[in-house]
Structure formats: structure tokens, C-alpha cells
Amino acid sequence: MLRYSKNLSVALNNKMFLTRRYGDLTKRGPLIDIQPAVREALQMAPQTVVALESTIVTHGMPYPHNLETALEVEQIVRQKGAVPATIAIVEGRIQVGLSGDQLARLAKADYRQTIKTSRRDLAYVLSKGLSGGTTVAGTLLVTDMVGIRVFATGGIGGVHRGGEHTMDVSADLVELGRTPVAVVSSGVKSILDIPRTLEYLETQGVCVASYKCPDLDFPAFYTRSSGSKAPYNLDSASEAARMISVNSALGLRSGFLIGVPLPEEFSLDRKEMDEVIAQSLAEADRLGIKGKEVTPFILAAVSSITTGRSLESNMALIKNNARVASEIAVELYRIENRKCGVGISETSETEATNVSSQRPAPVVIGGSIVDTCITVLDGDLKLDGATYHATIDISGGGVGRNIAEGIWKIYGNVHLISAVGNDQNGEYLKRLLPNHCGSSIVTTGSHPTANCSVLLDNQGECKLVVGDMSIHNAISVDWINSHSKLIQGTPLVIIDSNISASAMKAIFQLCRQYGKPVFFEPTDMRAASKPFSGSVRDDAIQVIRFVTPNLYELRDIAKSLGYKNTIPETFVENFENMHALLAEVRSLALFVNQFVDNVIVTLGSYGVAIVRKTTEDVPFFDKQSNYYRHTPKDDSEPSAVRFYHARKLAQIVNVSGAGDSFTSGFVAAMLDGHPESVCVNVGFEAACCALGAKGAVAEHYFDRGHFCWQPISGPRCITLGEL
């Protein structure tokens, strides 16, 4: 999903930004393609971009492990609040950031048809229009070209065993000596001469440090210790980021090697590995394998000898390194923007959560469901009774519950009024939220916990949803009234349409009594008009200040409120152009805005349209008091319609929770007193996290240091006039 507007998009597509080393990148435009999400980050917060090399994909692992690992690594980077940029050569062009299709093609390609691309190979591969995986050296070269400062990999090359005779020394070491990039790896590959490699790095002026190893043990890829010591140790991501920042301030041109030991449960026995590697090296020598072919041969041989345990360790350490690199990148952004006076807090993520937990918490009232997500692997899905191959994931769901979990993870505190059964599913759902939410979730033996089964095709698109939701009726009027004190103390009540009309009426009456605004998430087009019809309507119009429908739900709400114009039955997918889509959205949303102060229309992959009787720089809430700022009711104040583009993602795992996460991010920023554009920006980033997660709610989102919390300079959106 996209943060920048049409004009800013054009500027970025024309590569109108400067790189640290090479100046205007347009001079190298024919050689380098930068993925839109990476371009945007390089423009707004370059410290947050984490480079990833691609020889792991092309030569380091067999298919499909290579593709699965590459996609998981990118998602780990996103979930930590950074931006992944996998670097490779595709058909004679340097790619900074790969699409899902490009990754898949490289992963499936015969490794003999792709070239391990280091500095020496780059001109040849590009001039011949070939494809290749960039080595550590090749990736370092490109990262420096575009201004990326943190790079995560598995293990670097080094001095080969017997290198004092053969002079076989990896170009990775030389490139590290002349490129000011921090390389986060599990040290040096075990198959190499590690003591001589460390000596060579010292000669090249490369700062080497272990990570969270007080005894200075330097890791050796598959094992947590190589027997060699690093000169220094870094105790935290903040410490590493400060070192990188100081290096930049000094103008030094050498890089860093940060050795992160792989998680202990994946570490192999050092003595066993030495024996396995010696055996593999002897076999390589017998077969006459030399040069850059040695490493992939040895890795494959080691995997075979260890019956796959080394491959498991390899995948684990790469993911762990990506996590650490992302944390360092986010800290680097926070440190350097604080120096520039942007106002980033010095508190850590944990401290920020503790601080935010002291604020009045929003109250979410709605459904709690166990989601069973079935993703069909075959490409020709038809609802014809046939048997299809699929993966099945079980996770927490329910619109209200999803929003509550997202707000808790992003904002730091929340209350949820909901209902679950007295069963294992109910206990599972309660464990996903902070303990204090348990007291406001009714547990009943009359109904099982709600369960919803979602059928997705192999592109992640939802094809069918079925479920048992009868337990939602346990959120009764009495249960609502028993939590009147909770509602009295909250800055905002958020409801979904799973709850009954009578429960809604009780909520609205309490909110009128205490002067609390309501944020309504319609949930489904068949229930979107529930609060705007029947005996609930008058109370609803008095307190609902926010509504977040999609186009179908917007049509239903407008019709219920008395919209007289013709409402087409056309589906969004069949719109011929954006002009037609936005024209209808504008007409419907302006009408609904006569009854609801803030209409936030979610348009899937297109973006979001917002209608308010105020400008985009006016916050929804006062930052100090958490008090809702009412928009003018004077008819002389015109409503403004603004459209924010969505960003196209290269890889989408699951679309089921993206809208709920958008709401979570939007509400979190709104309660913090941010202006409209930042609220949308944070909502988009939360939705991106959910789109890359297997469940409806992402395991991790981002902390307050993420650049999505900062105002964006330049045009932010399109203001829709008469269409």
C-alpha cells in the first residue's frame, strides 16, 4: 500500500533523489531498477532500508527452501519496521528490491545458468543481459551506490584453507574495506580459515565485533563459536547503530562486520562440523573444484553429510541476522533523526509501550473468532467438489478482536469487550491479548467460540468464508452496561457489526451519556447498515463520529440513510478506470458525511478516501487530553474529499486482516494526536504488515521510530474536486 501521492510518485519514478556516493542516480538509470517501496524509503528514511544478497537464493539453498527462506526473511525485516531490498541481477539489470515473480524465477533457475556476481563479474553479466545472484561483495557495491547502510546475510567469504599458498581470498573482504556498510552475518563461513580471515579484515581496516557475546566469541556460521575472538562486542542494536553513525560522521570509507551467533537450538557441534568440512574439502580437491564453485559445492556436501541439519541451521541464522539487522537499521534512523531535530523519542520500543499503557485505552466491542485459513496451492481453484492441495493455518480472528490486538501491539494499550466459549479456542484467543482484557470478555458454555473458515486461492485472494457466529449474542445489553465505567474512562469506543442491534443501542446510549465518540467498522456489507436503521438509528447518528466502509458497505450505509441517487450494482473489479470509481465514492461519501463526521472509505489495492469538514493537517484528537476534536457542523464549511494511493506489494500472503490492521494503525496514530496524513500512513504500514502475515494480525508491527509516524514533505494525496 502506497504512502505517496501521484506527484511524489512521478518524482520517485524518475529517480529524483541523490545517493550518498554517486550523486544523481538517473545517470545510472539504465543499469539499476529500484522497487517502488525501496525508492520511497530511500527518499524518506534511507537508514531503515536493509539490503539482502541473492546468492542464497541462486546458489546457497535448494528449491523450494531458497524461495521460502527469502520471502520469510523479507517479511521479518518488514515486521521489525525496516524495508527489505533484496539485490540481484535480472536479465542484465541491477535490481534493488525484487518482486515475488523475480524471486521465484531466480529460485527455480538452474544455478548453472545464473552467475555468482561479484565486483569482477558485474560488467560482464550486465553487458551480456544475464541474470545472477550477487555475492556479499557484489551486494556491498550496489548498496553503496544507492545509499543503503545495513546489510544482512548468512556468512561472508574469507581466506580459504590453504590460502597462504593458493592466495584464494574472497573479494568480500576487500569490498568490506572500502565500503561503509554494516554487514550483519553469522561470522565467516565455517569452511574457511577464520583466524587468517580476521587478520585480513584488520589489514583492510574493517571493524569486527561480536553481537551480545561478552566473551567476544566470534561465530562460525553453523556453530556459535569459531574458537577465535572478535576485537569488540556490541551489547545492543542501539550500540551498533551509534557506531555506524559515528563512522559516517568521521567520513571513513571502511565497513563493519557484526558477528551474530545463530540461535543455540540450531547450533551444530563444532568438532563434528570440523570433521564434516575437512571431508567435503577433500572431496572438492579430488574432483578439481576450484574458485567460486567451491563454496556452493561444500555447502551442498555438508548438507548431505549432516542429513539436512546444516540447511536447517542455515535458514535459521539468515532469519536471525535479518531480525538483528532490521533492529539496527531502525535504531540508526532514530538516532540520526534525533540529531537532526525531527523529534524521535529516545525511549526504546519496550519503554514506549510502557509509557503508552499509562494513557486512557480505547475500548473495542466486537467479535472474537478463531480463523482457519485454508490456502489452496493449486492454480485452478473451482468450487466443484474436487480435492485440492492446501496449507491450513489457525489464528486469532474476528474484526473487533483483530483491531484490539493490532491497537495493543501498535499503541500499547486497549480494552476488548467480547465473548468466547468455555473451550480451548476461547482460552487461545484470550492468551493473544493483555491480561486485563480477560475481565471484559464474557466466557459462556452456551455456545462454542466463534469459528470462521476462510478459503484463499494461491494468490492470497479470498474465495469463500463460512462460520458459526452464534456466540456474538452473548455480548448482551447487561454485559455492556456492566462495563459503563470502562466506557466512561475511554477516549474512543470502537465497534464492529457482529454485535446485536440491542447491544449497539446500549453502547450508543452510554456514549451519549459520557460524551464519547464511536468508531464504527462495518465488517460486512450485509450488516453495514445495522446501526443506521430501525430503533438504533437516532442514537447512532448522535455518537458515531467515524466509519470505515469499503465501497459495497458505503453503498449500503448511504441507502439506509436515505441516499436518493441511483446506486450501481457494479463491483469494484469491473470499474474501467479510477475516475469512475472515485466519482461514485465522492458522491456517496459526501452524503454519508452529513451524518458522520469522518468517512474513511477503504478501497483495497487502490487506497483510501477520506471525507471531513476540515483540512488534512487538523488532528482528530487532542494529543494532550485524548479528547475528540469535533468537526464543524456549520453547512457553510464544505466537506473535503481526499484520496490516498495504496502501495503495490511484491508479495501478499493473506488479505483477510489488512483492513482491520489499517484501522488499528489509523486509530493508534489518531489517539496520539497526529494529523490525517500520518494516520493514513501508519494505517497503510500496519496493513502491509498484515498482508505479509499468515494470520489476520501480524506477529510484529513497528515501533515509534518507524518513518511512517513522521509527516511526509510534499504532496500527500489527491484532493477530489468535482468529477
Q: What is the CB-side half-sphere exposure of residue 70 using CA atoms within 13 A?
A: 36
Q: How far apart are CA 21 and CA 1, in angstroms?
A: 30
Nearest Cα neighbor of 659 from 698, 686, 693 is: 686
Q: Radius of gyration of the chain from Cα atoms?
A: 27
Of residues 53, 331, 521, 676, which has the active-site annotation?
53
Chain mean position to CA 129: 33
* Crossing angle for the helix pair 309-339 and 237-250, to the nearest 10 degrees: 60
Alpha helices in 593-702 (DSSP H): 658-671, 676-691
Q: How far apart are CA 148 and CA 219, in angstroms?
A: 25
Q: How far apart are CA 170 and CA 157, in angstroms?
A: 5
Question: Nearest-5° angle of CA 81, CA 3, CA 718?
Answer: 165
Query: Helices (H), strands (E): how many in the chain?
Result: 25, 27
- For cell 544482512, the residue is 152
Alpha helices in 561-630 (DSSP H): 578-592
Q: How far apart are CA 368 and CA 696, in angstroms?
A: 12
Which residues face 50 on adjacent strands?
Answer: 84, 150
Of residues 15, 80, 189, 409, which has the active-site annotation?
189
Nearest Cα neighbor of 620 from 554, 681, 685, 667 is: 667
What are 587's three cell numbers?
458522491
As a residue count, the chain comes to 723
What are 149's three cell numbers?
547502510
Nearest Cα neighbor of 596 from 519, 513, 707 is: 519
CA quadruple 495, 497, 498, 500: dihedral positive or negative? positive
Q: Check if the beta carbon of residue 198 is closer than 8 Å to that of residue 173.
A: no
Q: How far apart are CA 674 and CA 667, in angstroms?
A: 10
Quick one: 31 exposed, middle or buried, by C-beta within 10 A (0-12, 13-18, 19+)? middle
Q: How far apart are CA 328 and CA 47, in angstroms?
A: 9
> 53 catalytic, yes or no?
yes
Alpha helices in 392-491 (DSSP H): 399-410, 424-431, 477-481, 484-488
Nearest Cα neighbor of 399 from 367, 441, 433, 362 is: 367
> 648 catalytic, yes or no?
no
- For cell 563459536, the residue is 225
Q: How far apart are CA 276 and CA 228, in angstroms?
A: 19
Nearest Cα neighbor of 402 from 373, 434, 433 is: 433
Which H helix or E strand runs over 462? Answer: strand 462-468
Count Cβ atoms below 10 Å from residue 343 Cβ, excluding itself. Answer: 9
Give the residue numbers marked as catalytic. Answer: 53, 189
